[in-house]
Amino acid sequence: MEGSLLLPHYNSRATLIVTVVEGKGEFELVGQRNENQQEQREENEEEEEEGQERSRQVQRYRARLSPGDVFVIPAGHPVAVSASSNLYLVGFGINAENNRRNFLAGEEDNVISQIHRPVKELAFPGSAQQVNRLLKNQKQSYFANV
């Protein structure tokens, strides 16, 4: 997978444990910042300020990958992996039954392309047609050359 990008995606149910067998690369994952601390804080705030809206803080996590590294991809967390040299990964999923890998880019198997036209026009800048054209520029849903 040298010079390639595993396009951004998330797993609906499976948590993956992955190890780097060979090569180098990078991975990016999006998740909530300090989830446990934030939930505890929110519970306390709920008791004090019922009915107020709070936004969750989201953070991008990045790491360089090299042989022997192990990383975890929790279910529902968007992730992308790029290879800077021949990158070989081995992984397994926990709670993988009925899991769906949902890609956020590419022409096929792309969850964004399944959104109805009126919703796309509200959610993205430009028209739904422009969003569809942008998504279809990348033919492959899984890997892209970088």
Rounded to an integer, what distance in angstroms lies between the CA atom of residue 14 and that of residue 75? 5
Taking the domain 105-146, which CATH number applies?
1.10.10
pLDDT at 58: 81
Comma-separated ranges of CATH 1.10.10 domains in the chain: 105-146
**Strand runs (DSSP E) across 15-142, as ranges?**
15-22, 25-32, 58-65, 70-73, 79-83, 88-94, 101-103
**What is the pTM assigned to this prediction?**
0.69
**CATH architecture, domain 1-98:** Sandwich (2.60)
Burial 67-99 (b: 16+ CB within 10 A, else e): eebebebebebbbbbbbeeebebeeebeeeeeb
pLDDT at 54: 47
pLDDT at 138: 64
pLDDT at 143: 72
Mean pLDDT of the chain: 79
Which of the residues in the chain have pLDDT under 70?
Answer: 1-2, 34-56, 107-109, 124-125, 134-141, 146
Termini Cα distance of the chain: 11
Rounded to an integer, what distance in angstroms lies between the CA atom of residue 141 and that of residue 80? 12
β-pair partners for 71: 18
pLDDT at 139: 65
Comma-separated ranges of CATH 2.60.120.10 domains in the chain: 1-98
Tell me how many degrees the CA angle 76-27-24 measures, rounded to the nearest 5. 145
